[in-house]
Structure 1
Amino acid sequence: MTLALLGIGIALLLVLRVPVAFAFLGPSLVYMAVEGQSLGMALRHVTNAAASFPLLAVPLFVLLGTLANHTGIAEKFFRFALAALARIRGNLGYVAVGTSVAFSWMSGSAVADAAALGKVQIPAMLKAGYSRRFATGVSATSSLVAPVMPPSIPAVIYAGLAAVSTGALFAASVIPALLMALGLCIVVFVLVRRDRSIKAGTFDVTELKASIPGVLLPMLAPVIILGGILGGLFTPTEAAAIGVVWIAFVGLVQRSLTVKVAIAAIKDAVTTTASIMLIVASASLLGYILAKERLPQLLTDAALSVTSDPMVFLALTALMMLMLGTVIDATAILVLTVPILLPIAAQFGIDPIVLGVLLIVSLMIGLLTPPVGTVLFVTAHVSHTRVGEVFRGSLPFLIPSVLIAITAIVFPGTIAWLPTVLGL
């Protein structure tokens, strides 16, 4: 009965638009008091959740993304891709996807990607005669590659919660992310063929040559970060720190990193990290309560009574993530559900790396789904477009993400292949 009241209290606070961290923390503290649990114990759970060495990579990767954003690296990638693909009909659609892939090696966040690239890509497409629905749709959905492609902030959080290798999870995410990008390009190709008003541009070799220096040094960042992690040279946390130093060096060389820019990037990183870690801490306390009430065991028994097929379990899990992702922040969902789902997945013999990739891909789709849909609102804001219009424009571009989730369910070996080859 107490657990039911806890759930009702959290649901009511979420409906009232109370921030997720406080919607979890308030009722959890009330539960601890009612059940006679020490509030000191609650405080220890909250602080211990944030005091984790693997999670130290989160603020560093966030800072890496904000530095890349504020030093104009996104715009440099966009300029280079546009110059290289100038002769291709519908080139701006492909440029949007390609730029998002390139920037995703540094940002790790769909929201950061949508904010940094949307304000560049969308006006350029509208000026070139693309429909507003197409421009906002391809820009918004391309940003979903960032949290799947390493270095991924959700992957770092999942790896810390599931006690799995961050490097292995990063490696497992590469192929799904590239397939997402390929799928987006196919959708662009189909939609562009239907719109005969979209014309090819003019190739300018001078512009291409001028854009190359701006991307040479930034493109070494993923080589340093992922090469170091997958090669066993340093941990993900150390890789994130080295990545920050490298991007700062690039900013200084390119004269785009000033004291003012650095302060702005650090402020953004602190704000973003604080919101993430507050959610992690509050959700951890709620997770302790759910474990105390034996919810994971109850759900395990229920799942095994419904089906003995791992594929069915994964499909139900993906569907649940899609539904939760429409109303709750992805970080909170991971912290809450991973400790519950891992024992169940183990009963079905499911690789935790496969489960992690499926959870991340499914949750990222929720970023473009009302009523919360953070990327929807960010894209709508930077493009001065109604949220409903952005959502309708995104629908055809969401098909690749859905297909990747289905692939992870039906052919989990495709997810585990690269980590196995690399011996991770």
Structure 2
Amino acid sequence: PADAAAVAMVMLPSMTRAGYPRPFSATLIAASASTAILIPPSVALILYSIVVPGVDLRALFAAGLFPGMLAGAALLVPAWWLARRYRWEAPENVERPPLAESFRQAIPALFAPILILGGLRSGLFTPTEAAVVAVAYGVVVGLWLTRELGWRDLWELFGEAAVISGVVMLIIALAGIFAWAGTMLGTFRHLAEWVIALSDNGTLLLVMIMLAVLVAGMLLDAISIYLILMPILIPVMQHFDWNPVWFGILLAMNIAIGQFTPPVAVNLMVTTEVARVRLEQTIGWAMVFVLAMAVALALVVVFPGIALWLPGVLGYNV
């Protein structure tokens, strides 16, 4: 949702000037923002590596790259086709900034993921330390390189980060109590046995789980879904011998779809508020992008190598 809000504030005015309808623009931005859950460094994947024992976070980060790119391409194709069909294009008098200058200005931002992933890959720092390095790098760039941050802005950002962290930690604490109670009472074990008993066909059961996670993604955030559902899904995953890295990416892709699927779509609610359009105006466009992302998800289901090839090449434990 934060990605959706930040991008919408910048892109919506430009897309509107270029002739794109506001409901379409709001939907496209909401759908695109949902792919952030797959691209490192992903908070959801970090949490998944904590909840599921024995999963290498570096393998998860590497596994999310190609599915994330595939999800982005899946959204790009219908967006391009619709723009051509309805002749949405920028007026000729719109001045475009020079490509070389724009790229030069973007270099500090583009270097951030290189710094994070390079440090993780080389073993220079842990995922937790990578977060500290990323924040420190952003502060240095904002204060002294681009000078877009002031000391007063930094203080406000610290306050906002404290509030967000407090909310996340409260969710984790309550979910931890929920997980402890469910484990001690045997509820999760009974639920897992019930799920396994539904079908001996692993493929059919996987489809059913994906549909359930999709519905959960329409109602909850990724952190809550992982903390609530994983105690139930881990025994199922182990029973059918599903690769935990591949399964984690499938869950992330499914949650991403749920974040812009009406009637309850967190990302879509954010972008429609920015665009000042009603949620019901975006339903038709949302279904187009849901279908496109579902195709990308199906490809990762059928061809696990899309997710597992890169971590295997890098020598991570998959």
The TM-score normalised by the length of structure 2 is 0.92
Deviation at 1:233, TM superposition (A): 2.3
Does residue 125 of structure 1 match 2:29? Answer: no
Distance in structure 1 (CA, Å) of the matches to 2:298 and 2:91? 34
User: 1:215 corresponds to which residue?
Assistant: 106
Q: Deviations over 1:7-52 (max 9, x none)?
A: xxxxxxxxxxxxxxxxxxxxxxxxxxxxxxxxxxxxxxxxxxxxxx
Deviation at 1:308, TM superposition (A): 2.7
Letter in 1 for 2:28: V
1:394 aligned to which of 277, 282, 286: 286
1:225·1:243 contact (CA, 8 Å) conserved in 2? yes
More deviation, 384-393/161-170: 384-393
Deviation at 1:401, TM superposition (A): 2.0
SS at match of 2:109: coil
Distance in structure 1 (CA, Å) of the matches to 2:266 and 2:173? 21
Matches within 5 A, 1:340-419: 340-419=232-311
Deviation at 1:188, TM superposition (A): 1.4
Deviation at 1:340, TM superposition (A): 1.6
User: 2:27 corresponds to which residue?
Assistant: 137
User: 1:6 corresponds to which residue?
Assistant: none
User: 1:300 corresponds to which residue?
Assistant: 192
1:147 aligned to which of 17, 33, 37: 37
2:116·2:134 contact (CA, 8 Å) conserved in 1? yes
Matches within 5 A, 1:102-181: 111-163=1-53, 164-181=55-72
Letter in 2 for 1:239: A
Larger radius of gyration: 1
User: Aligned residues, how many?
Assistant: 314
2:261·2:290 contact (CA, 8 Å) conserved in 1? no
Matches within 5 A, 1:46-65: none
More deviation, 305-314/337-346: 305-314
Distance in structure 2 (CA, Å) of the matches to 1:288 and 1:371? 32
Deviation at 1:263, TM superposition (A): 2.0
Letter in 1 for 2:252: I
Letter in 2 for 1:222: P
Segments of 5+ residues of structure 2 without an aligned counterpart are: none
User: CA, structure 1 residues 232+310, in 2 after alignment: closer, same or farther (shift >3 Å)?
Assistant: farther
User: 1:313 corresponds to which residue?
Assistant: 205
Does residue 337 of structure 1 match 2:260? Answer: no
2:300·2:306 contact (CA, 8 Å) conserved in 1? yes
Deviation at 1:369, TM superposition (A): 2.5
Matches within 5 A, 1:234-273: 234-252=125-143, 253-273=145-165
User: CA, structure 1 residues 409+212, in 2 after alignment: closer, same or farther (shift >3 Å)?
Assistant: closer
Deviation at 1:409, TM superposition (A): 2.5
Q: Which has the higher contact order (CA 8 A, sep 6+)?
A: 2
User: 2:83 corresponds to which residue?
Assistant: 192
More deviation, 194-203/141-150: 194-203
Structure 1 vs Structure 2: percent identity of aligned residues?
Answer: 32
More deviation, 124-133/341-350: 124-133
Letter in 1 for 2:18: A
Deviation at 1:221, TM superposition (A): 0.5
Deviation at 1:405, TM superposition (A): 2.2
SS at match of 1:350: coil
More deviation, 174-183/323-332: 323-332
Deviation at 1:203, TM superposition (A): 9.0
Distance in structure 1 (CA, Å) of the matches to 2:164 and 2:78? 32
1:129·1:198 contact (CA, 8 Å) conserved in 2? yes
Distance in structure 2 (CA, Å) of the matches to 1:401 and 1:257? 36
More deviation, 266-275/135-144: 266-275
Distance in structure 1 (CA, Å) of the matches to 2:293 and 2:115? 28
2:39·2:65 contact (CA, 8 Å) conserved in 1? yes
Segments of 5+ residues of structure 1 without an aligned counterpart are: 1-110
SS at match of 1:363: helix
Distance in structure 2 (CA, Å) of the matches to 1:180 and 1:353? 17
More deviation, 197-206/313-322: 197-206
The TM-score normalised by the length of structure 1 is 0.70
1:136·1:394 contact (CA, 8 Å) conserved in 2? no
SS at match of 2:98: helix
